[in-house]
Structure 1
Amino acid sequence: GDVADEARRQRIPVVIKKSAPQKMNRRQSEDQGRRTAGSVALVKPRIPSALSELFPDPGQDAQTGGLWLALDCIQDPHNIGAIFRTAAFFGVRGIVLTKDRSAPINATVYDVASGGMEAVPFAVETNLSRSISQAKETGVWIMGTSEHAEEDVSAYSQDRPWLIVIGNEEKGLRRL
């Protein structure tokens, strides 16, 4: 149908398989009950970028602005997906995720992200503090979020590059 035709126009390989209803039902239950609207796409997960690929070369973009995010131990895959979806809409240039104590990048994240996972480059790092230091070395300014912040994020200059660090849902930012 229309989805397959558009995929072919975009040079995306399409294989149409007529599946027995019981096979589709089994597939849906394996996918935690997500609705398929009659179509299922098997998509290879994206491979994370190297951290050095996310940030500009030192000094290169220091005056042009841009926004990156760092997610510090976000544990709910729905939250990660929502962050990627929103980041794609706002043109975020990259996201750094922590490897430990974070939700895995799984089907739920892809589903909630609604295309954001494909649109925003990301790196998965063991040491967030080191990642922040690398961002600083490239001229990126660092900002942390807090529910107790006295200033709104919009108060900061948007003509420079920023990395906004978002803390865990329960505990907020760790001391890095």
Structure 2
Amino acid sequence: MRKIENCELERKSIDAFKNSEKTPLIIVLDDIRSLHNIGSVFRTADAFLIEKIYLCGITATPPNKEIHKTALGATETVAWEHHKNVLEVIKNLKKEGVITLAIEQVENATLLQNFEVHTSQKYALIFGNEVFGVSQEAVAICDGSIEIPQLGTKHSLNISVSVGIVVWDLFQKLNYTK
């Protein structure tokens, strides 16, 4: 077994990325404090050809040195917008026919492994503040909620880890499940 060199990875150019068919997933980040988390989410979004990121509330926006440190250029490829109010973003996405899903521990949440995707549908995944999670107001207007099962003592994951887990799961269900 030989480790693959960077030049062998057949990476897309920025233009090729922007012109590629996107995975029908949108990420909504609300009141994310950590610039490193934001950058990591951009990098994950780039890896899985995510359609767009909405940065809401106090969530910082590019260009930003600390976001760039973890995004490694993904802020140049992934489409993004900033909006003050996450509730308006969710309402607008719903009007466009996008299924909105709070990624949160709530009553009657669907466990991630049990969530079924429809390949003809577009999904928006709403992630909240590192301490307070997705606001109750946002949860209340979402179409549903997905919970990442956790068996340890903390029942809490870093926001960028949560994004990676959920995006990977839905990406593989959208692309590799028959």
Normalised by the length of structure 1, the TM-score is 0.58
The question of 1:86 aligning with 2:44 is answered yes
Alignment check: 8 A CA contact 1:70 1:163 kept? yes
1:101 to 22, 47, 58: 58
Could you say what the CA RMSD is over the residues aligned between the two structures, in angstroms? Answer: 2.2
Query: Alignment partner for residue 140 of structure 1, among 85, 88, 98?
Result: 98
For the structure 1 residues 74 and 90, does the alpha-carbon distance in structure 2 shift closer, same or farther, using more than 3 Å as the test?
same
Tell me which of 104, 123, 126 is aligned to 1:162: 123
**Partners in 1 of 2:113 and 2:81 — Cα distance?**
24
Give how far 1:114 is off. 1.0
Aligned AA (2:122):
P
Question: Closer, same or farther in 2 for the Cα pair 1:135/1:70, shift >3 Å?
Answer: same
Deviations 1:100-139 (A, max 9, x none): 3324531110121012111111010011111111111111
Q: What displacement does 1:175 show?
A: 2.1
Question: Residue 112 of structure 1: which of 70, 73, 78 is its match?
Answer: 70
Moved more, 65-74 or 102-111: 102-111
Q: What's the TM-score once normalised by structure 2's chain length?
A: 0.58
> What is the distance in 1 between the residues matched to 2:34 and 2:113?
24
Q: Which structure has the bigger radius of gyration?
A: 1
Determine the C-alpha separation between the residues in 2 that align with 1:93 and 1:154.
23
Instruction: List structure 1 runs of 4+ shifted beyond 4 angstroms.
Output: 147-150
1:151 pairs, out of 98, 104, 111, with: 111
* Alignment partners' CA distance in 1, 2:36 and 2:127: 15
- Structure (1 or 2) with the greater strand fraction: 2
Identity %: 27
Pair 77,142 (structure 1): closer, same or farther in 2 beyond 3 Å? same
- Greater per-residue helix proportion: 2
Residues paired across the two proteins, number: 113
1:175–1:97: structure 2 CA closer, same or farther, 3 Å change rule?
same
Q: Deviations over 1:35-87 (max 9, x none)?
A: xxxxxxxxxxxxxxxxxxxxxxxxxxxxx970001001000000000000001
